[in-house]
Amino acid sequence: MLDGMMRGVIDAPLNEGGRWLAARGATANAVTLVGLVLGLAAAGLVAVGWSGVTVALVLLASRLADGLDGAVARARGKTDFGGYLDIVADFAFYGAIPLAFVLRDPGANGLAGAVLLFSFYVNAATFLGFAILAERQGLETRSRGEKSLYFTAGLMEGTETILCFLVLVLWPGLFAPLAWAFAGLCLVTAAARLVLAARTFR
């Protein structure tokens, strides 16, 4: 829901940073992998009991790298594999954070974490399935910036997920209630994409 608004705020500085990195030899795939490693490191810290500002900063650094990889790709030239690697890294990160909370306290967080991961799985299927059919039919959109895949808008997008994760790493005791709420909203988003797909591809 907020991704479109955020693009207008972050695209210009990200593109400038991407050109700076590209001029110094950085590749988009390398930046993607740095972002993934940082994201998994944040998840690892959560799993072993860390929380607070330090974890939040590592998480934010991973998302900064996730934004910069596309900017580097635009500066150096995009590749299909780069887009593929980016989306795989994103979903690995999105799954790692809830899993980390489950590992941290299985008794308190296990069921809520499992339901949240289920909702991510369903939401990802509606997102990627739509992108595949959109590509087949030649549909294009730039409402979420210049992407390798067709991005459908939704109630729960990347910005909302990152904000949720930041709240969780700062206040880990909120995991269970927030996970239940976020899972419900993700399933609403998935249902809305199913309706959109039925109207678009029927």
Distance separating alpha carbons of residues 73 and 28, to the nearest angstrom: 5
For residue 65, name the pLDDT band (cuts at 50, 70, 90).
very high
| Nearest-angstrom CA–CA distance, 178 and 136 | 37
Give the rounded percent of residues in the chain with a pLDDT score beyond 70: 92
Tokens representing residue 86 in the block: 């980016």
pLDDT exceeds 60 at position 76: yes
pLDDT digits (tens, 9 = 90+) for 148-173: 667 777 777 888 999 999 999 999 99
**Is the CB of residue 21 less than 8 Å from the CB of residue 68?**
yes
Looking at per-residue pLDDT, the higher value among 112 and 201 belongs to 112
Residues 179, 112: Cα–Cα separation, whole Å:
6
| 135 and 147 Cβ atoms separated by less than 8 Å | no
Rg of the chain, C-alpha, whole Å: 17
Q: What is the mean pLDDT of residues 79-87?
A: 94
Predicted pLDDT at 18: 96
Dist. CA 189–CA 122, nearest whole Å: 10
Residue type, 60: L
Enumerate residues 6+ apart whose C-beta is below 8 A from 27.
72, 76
pLDDT the model gives residue 110: 98
pLDDT value of residue 148: 63
For the domain bounded by 3-201, which CATH number is listed?
1.20.120.1760
How many other CB atoms sit within 10 Å of the CB of residue 50?
16
The model's pTM: 0.89
Residue type, 91: F
> Minimum mean pLDDT among 69-73, 135-139, 149-153: which range?
149-153
- The pLDDT assigned to 68 comes to 96
DSSP structure string for 26-90: --HHHHHHHHHHHHHHHHHHHHTT--SHHHHHHHHHHHHHHHHHHHHHHHH---HHHHHHHHHHH
How many other C-beta atoms lie within 10 A of the C-beta of residue 102?
21
What is the model's pLDDT at position 138? Answer: 84
Q: Provide the CB-side half-sphere exposure for 163 (13 A, CA).
A: 10
pLDDT at 20 over 80: yes
